[in-house]
Amino acid sequence: MSSLVRFLFWVIVFSFLPDHSNAQALKIPKQFEYPLNIQPRLNANFGEMRPNHFHMGLDLNTQANENLPVFAPADGFVSRVKIESGGFGRAIYLNHPNGLTTVYAHMNMFMPKVEKFLEKKQYEQESWKIDLQMPVGLFKVRKGQIIGYSGNTGASEGPHVHFEIRDTKTENCLNPLMFGLEMQDHVAPDINQLVFYDYDKSIYEQLPVMVGLVKKGNTYYPIKKIELPYEKVMIGIVARDRLDGSANPNGIFRALLLKENKPIAGFKLENISYDFTKNQSGHIDYMLRSEGGPYVQLMHRPKYFPLDIYPNEINQPFLRNENIFSGYAIEVSDVHENLARIEFEVRKSAVPSFNNVAGQKMQLGAKNLLRQDNFQIEFPVDAFYDAVHLQVKTKLPTGENEISSSYETEPSNIPVNNAFVVKIKPNKDFVKIDTARVVMRKIYKSKVEVKKAVFSKDGFLASFKELGMYQLIQDLEPPKIVLGIQNGSTLKAGSIINVSVSDNLKSIRSFVARVDGKWIMFTPRGNQYSYRVDEHFPLGEHLLSIVVYDEAGNQSVQSIKVKRN
């Protein structure tokens, strides 16, 4: 029996065996050592709620330090290396004989022979950004071997190691705490609120009923009687988990809704694909969260939801509300089976009232076309988690480079499961527009996104994944380049060349540096690019050229003569 098969056996055995004591009772077969040589502590866990996605691994605390050695938790080989300015930053992947892959992100450095191989491939591809599949077995590692050093690269808000365990074949992320990592956990989750919805209305077109809880012993109870004017009731919870000695609010592992002590609904966060991590937006009350409320996790599968975190065998979509009080319980547990329980009763108080909602209704399970004047959005079949009415607010252009009205979807804080196509017809005649220099700008609150607009016979198209305000912009202004060295500068090995790049729409598409026509590798950090003079910059006098493009295709070039001693 393989290690992965044994692991799945233990998952099945322990999946639905709640332990009512607050003790670390579940002993999980150990498959991996902790990859840092310090006291294990988490900044975040698997399944923790994040804006628009589930957190897909563990954030390992590095005591606010960088460059801690990171060790292979088991034998294996380096299977992949990924470098990007956002996201994981610098990440290394190890494949192991048990059918699992471990991932280490936000690293500063990899082991030297991997770094050398990586740099060779970056120069071959003329790209700092790279996603490199490594030859099988080329870089073998033994358990306890240093594979690199921790850092703060990519979309990291402080020094730590983002650690994942994946199924090698499917690349699904598995909850790393299910693999016996040394982590002291004797603390049950905290449950803060019960939340109720009318199933017959869209979750986006109603105000939830939020009920506070009081803890008596090991059980939570509502602070008031729960009487709801709904025929069908959908339930959510506000809850968090903690580990020993840490006040950090972590995500919960499992929640079960029970009637007469039998599970009728619930979810478990143990196996999630990156293809579906964005479905977290459907698992929560997205509108409430976007307006500053808490993360409410739904106990019932949303009306459309492709991610399999709600077990089919206990998938009751709602509670049938009765005229007498009916008793229910919710059990919330972590991987180590520390358990918290709510007991409550619900009854029907009156017949619900239905208010007409303005706007065009977006239907579930169908293509939807939202159209107004010179604007339209075509939504795919799988766009929405629940039906919703949308309107469009139009505003005339005010700037010289604005070639269309702006069109704002209302509401804009509705999650969309899949990309959709926006089409806008400009207010100006096409003959007065440089169609090759048009972008579409989306604004939602403080977030701005700029996409190259594709010209069609009666408008411009661009694809987006979030709602907001859209407008066509004719961008004829090239980006600006500021070199940190002057023409005629003398350099030596180890000298740093810094380049600052800016754009009127803050949309840099590409940056390329060459010495006498040969590519050299600058490292980006935001709009700053830097290069440390090395063996790729030869001795003597040379022409250093920087070429930058923005999203609209405007080009800037700056060249200077430099000498290397």
Instruction: pLDDT band for 429, please (50, 70, 90 cuts).
Output: confident
In percent, the amount of the chain with pLDDT more than 70 equals 95
Q: Quick one: tokens of 537?
A: 């910059």
430 contacts: CB under 8 Å, gap ≥ 6: none
Phi, psi (deg, nearest 5) at residue 326: -115, 135
Q: Quick one: tokens of 87?
A: 């996201």
Residue-averaged pLDDT of the chain: 93
Pair 417, 282: CB distance under 8 Å: yes
What is the predicted pLDDT for the residue at 29?
67
Q: Quick one: tokens of 276?
A: 């579906």
Residue 185 buriedness (CB in 10 A; 0-12 / 13-18 / 19+): buried
Mind listing the pLDDT tens digit for each residue in 326-376? 999 999 999 999 999 999 999 999 876 777 899 999 999 999 999 999 999
3-state DSSP percent of the chain in helix, strand and coil, to 5:
10, 45, 45
Question: For the chain, what is the total number of helices (H) and then of strands (E)?
Answer: 4, 46
Mind listing the pLDDT tens digit for each residue in 521-552? 999 999 999 999 999 999 999 999 999 999 99
Mean pLDDT of 296-308: 94
State yes or no: cis peptide before 411, omega within 30 of 0: yes
Rounded to whole angstroms, the Cα distance separating 386 from 379 reads 13
**In angstroms, what CA-CA distances link 377 with 410, 420, 423, 528?**
13, 7, 6, 36
Mind listing the pLDDT tens digit for each residue in 337-348? 999 999 999 999
Q: pLDDT higher for 26 or 177?
A: 177
Rounded to whole angstroms, the Cα distance separating 502 from 532 reads 21
Mind listing the pLDDT tens digit for each residue in 241-265? 998 888 888 999 999 999 999 999 9
- Alpha helical stretches, state H, 253-294: 280-283, 286-290
Mean pLDDT of 135-145: 96
What is the predicted pLDDT for the residue at 15?
45
Tell me how far the alpha carbon of residue 362 is from its chain's centroid.
Answer: 25
Mean pLDDT of 286-310: 95
What is the predicted pLDDT for the residue at 250?
93
Rounded to whole angstroms, the Cα distance separating 300 from 198 reads 12
Rounded to whole angstroms, the Cα distance separating 441 from 407 reads 11
For residue 327, which of 317, 337, 341 has the smallest C-alpha distance? Answer: 341
Instruction: pLDDT band for 430, please (50, 70, 90 cuts).
Output: confident
Q: Is the dihedral of CA 120, 124, 130, 131 positive or negative?
A: negative
CB atoms within 10 A of CB 99: 16
What is the predicted pLDDT for the residue at 28?
60
What is the predicted pLDDT for the residue at 175?
96
Pair 426, 437: CB distance under 8 Å: no
What is the predicted pLDDT for the residue at 352?
67
Instruction: pLDDT band for 392, please (50, 70, 90 cuts).
Output: very high
Pair 2, 31: CB distance under 8 Å: no
Phi, psi (deg, nearest 5) at residue 481: -120, 130
**In angstroms, what CA-CA distances link 445 with 203, 281, 312, 403?**
22, 18, 38, 22
